[in-house]
Amino acid sequence: MAEKMAALMQKDKERRVMKYKTETITETFDDNPRFDSAMRMATPAPPAHFLRVFGQPARTGLGEFRDNASSLRQQLLMLNGRITNEASRVGTLEPIHRILKKDPDLAIDWAYQEILTRYPTDREKSDARSIVKNSEEGMADLRWALLNSNEFRFLP
How far apart, in whole angstroms, are the C-alpha atoms of residue 139 and residue 145? 10
Give the model's pLDDT for residue 57.
73
CB 82, CB 50: distance < 8 Å = no
Give the model's pLDDT for residue 156.
46
Burial class (CB within 10 angstroms; exposed 0-12, middle 13-18, buried 19+) of 101: exposed
Would you place residue 123 in the very low, low, confident or very high pLDDT band (cuts 50, 70, 90)?
very high
Tens digits of residue pLDDT in 8-64: 888 777 776 666 777 777 766 555 555 566 666 677 777 777 777 777 777 777 666
